[in-house]
Amino acid sequence: MKSKHILIGVVLVLCAGLGAFAWHKWHSPATGADDSGDENTIISVQVGALKRMTLHQYVAAYGTVDAAPATATQPAAGGPLSAPTAGTVAKVNVVAGQQVNKGDVLVELNSASATSDYAKAEVDRQEKLLAQQNTSLKNAQDARAQLASLQVIAPVSGTITSLNVKPGQSVDTTTVIAEVIDLGRLAVSAKIPETQAGQLQAGQEVQVLTQPPVAASLLFVSPQINPDDGTVTAWASLPADSGLRPGQFVQFRIVTAVHTNCLAAPAASVVTDDSGNSTISLVNDDEATQTNVQTGFREDDWVELTAPDLKEGASVVTVGAYGLPQQTKIKIVNSSDDSSATNSSGAK
């Protein structure tokens, strides 16, 4: 009986030992790693390369295409035309889309005091009398003024972009009769926050972000701030062959500064903390090391960098850069050429 108890005790001890061994084996780290578990950690990343390029600083805006405004050398390129007097539409001489010349009579009116036909006949009569010296110059001028008050005349050569009346319709001086625009002289206007307006000046390059993009030039920046929304109005003149239409809503950006031959990194490689400090992870063989950098212009997928000893062509971590330890082993799953090609979206 006693030997039986001893045998049972030996078996229990062996079972306990096997259980302890199994538990230790299960919870022990892999061979070759220390207690921290980080020494042999390898992180898969993608990389890109630092490049020399030209980067731009912009003021971005949304605006509407319209007739170019008046300048010191040119009148406005058209716009809406109101009735010169209250009355009734007697005759419409044009249709929408028609090309007209400056001075063409677009619409004729009858007023309470005279009809268009009577006013034309009176001008003819006074002109003949004036030639015979049988009337005064003032009478002839009054006749011309009366006729002008009954006619809507094209202020520029251009296209009838809208026509809003028909014969017999009553109008007054608030009625927009038609719109004439020289489609070769268009501009895009936008409201710019006053905090950015100080960066703007006439002649700056403007990029209209349509497909295809349109190159324009900043024409005019209003000196007056709108007190209602704290903005200023800016106009950019469009080339004659822009392909844009009056009333079209477009996004554009004004180039306010250019940095040439600057060192830039793919934007995904730059990590900025809550304090505004920026770092990149430089790649050396199979290791990545964080490096503090100063950032400058940002354009599309590229960021300007300055830091000691940075060189063109150096590899940096792009995908996987966020949260990467200060110094760590890495496994590169792409080439820097692949990444730089992917990220080169328009910066020159």
- Three-class SS of the chain: CHHHHHHHHHHHHHHHHHHHHHHHHHHCCCCCCCCCCCCCCEEEECEEECEEEEEEEEEEEEEEEEECCCCCCCCCCEEEEECCCCEEEEEECCCCCCEECCCCEEEEEECCCCCHHHHHHHHHHHHHHHHCCCCCHHHHHHHHHHHHCCEEECCCCEEEEEECCCCCCEECCCCEEEEEECCCCEEEEEEEEHHHHCCCCCCCEEEECCCCCEEEEEEEECCCCECCCCEEEEEEECCCCCCCCCCCEEEEEEEEEEEEEEEEEEHHHCEECCCCCEEEEEEECCEEEEEEEEEEEEECCEEEEECCCCCCCCEEECCCCCCCCCEEEEEECCCHHHHHHHHCCCCC
- Confidence at residue 80, expressed as pLDDT on a 0 to 100 scale: 94
Mean pLDDT of 79-98: 96
Q: How confident is the model at residue 37 (pLDDT cuts 50, 70, 90)?
A: very low
Torsions phi, psi for 141 (to 5 deg)? -65, -40
- Confidence at residue 348, expressed as pLDDT on a 0 to 100 scale: 45
Is the pLDDT at 345 greater than 50? The verdict is no
Please state the domain count of the chain: 3
For residue 291, being part of any structural domain is answered with yes
For residue range 131-145, what is the model confidence (pLDDT) as tens digits?
999 999 999 999 999
Mean pLDDT of 216-221: 94
Q: How far is it, in rounded angstroms, from Cα 291 to Cα 332?
A: 19
CA 70 to mean position of chain CA atoms? 24
CATH number of the domain residue 335 falls in: 2.40.420.20
Mean pLDDT of 285-298: 93
For residue 147, being part of any structural domain is answered with yes
For residue 75, being part of any structural domain is answered with no
Are residues 139 and 223 located together in one domain of the fold?
no
Are residues 108 and 175 located together in one domain of the fold?
yes
- Confidence at residue 17, expressed as pLDDT on a 0 to 100 scale: 55
Are residues 195 and 339 located together in one domain of the fold?
no
Reference 150, options 92, 86, 95, 101; nearest CA is 86
Is the pLDDT at 282 greater than 60? The verdict is yes
Q: How confident is the model at residue 9 (pLDDT cuts 50, 70, 90)?
A: low
Are residues 94 and 172 located together in one domain of the fold?
yes
Asked if 157 and 102 touch (Cβ cutoff 8 Å), the reply is yes
Over its C-alpha atoms, the chain yields an Rg (Å, rounded) of 39
Q: Which domain does 125 fall in, by range?
A: 89-181
- Confidence at residue 73, expressed as pLDDT on a 0 to 100 scale: 87
CATH number of the domain residue 100 falls in: 2.40.50.100
For tokens 């900043």, the residue is 218
Is the pLDDT at 342 greater than 50? The verdict is no
Mean pLDDT of 52-79: 93
Cross-strand bridge partners of residue 283: 288
Are residues 158 and 285 located together in one domain of the fold?
no
For residue range 312-328, what is the model confidence (pLDDT) as tens digits?
999 999 998 888 888 88
Are residues 190 and 61 located together in one domain of the fold?
yes
Structural domain ending residue among the three candidates 149, 181, 213: 181
Structural domain ending residue among the three candidates 229, 258, 287: 258
Q: Collect contacts of 116-121 with beta carbons under 8 A, ≥24 apart.
A: 116/90, 116/91, 116/147, 116/150, 116/151, 117/90, 119/143, 119/146, 119/147, 119/150, 120/147
Average pLDDT of the chain to the nearest whole number: 87
- Confidence at residue 7, expressed as pLDDT on a 0 to 100 scale: 56
For residue range 230-269, what is the model confidence (pLDDT) as tens digits?
999 999 999 999 999 999 999 999 999 999 999 999 999 9
For tokens 């960066």, the residue is 199
In the chain, the N- to C-terminal Cα span, in Å, equals: 94
- Confidence at residue 72, expressed as pLDDT on a 0 to 100 scale: 85
- Confidence at residue 71, expressed as pLDDT on a 0 to 100 scale: 86
Q: How far is it, in rounded angstroms, from Cα 56 to Cα 223?
A: 25
Is the pLDDT at 32 greater than 60? The verdict is no
Of the candidate ranges 40-44, 293-297, 302-306, the one whose mean pLDDT is the lowest: 40-44
Structure tokens at 317: 């971590």
Phi-psi category of residue 162: left, alpha or beta, with phi > 0 → left and psi -120 to 50 → alpha: beta
Are residues 161 and 295 located together in one domain of the fold?
no
Mean pLDDT of 139-162: 95
Cross-strand bridge partners of residue 265: 303
CA torsion through residues 57, 59, 61, 67, sign? negative
- Confidence at residue 1, expressed as pLDDT on a 0 to 100 scale: 52
Query: CA distances (Å), 50 to each of 246, 308, 332, in order?
Result: 43, 14, 16
Percent of the chain with pLDDT strictly greater than 90: 75
Is the pLDDT at 18 greater than 80? The verdict is no
Of the candidate ranges 20-34, 60-74, 86-100, the one whose mean pLDDT is the lowest: 20-34
- Confidence at residue 209, expressed as pLDDT on a 0 to 100 scale: 95
Are residues 329 and 265 located together in one domain of the fold?
yes
Structural domain ending residue among the three candidates 151, 181, 211: 181
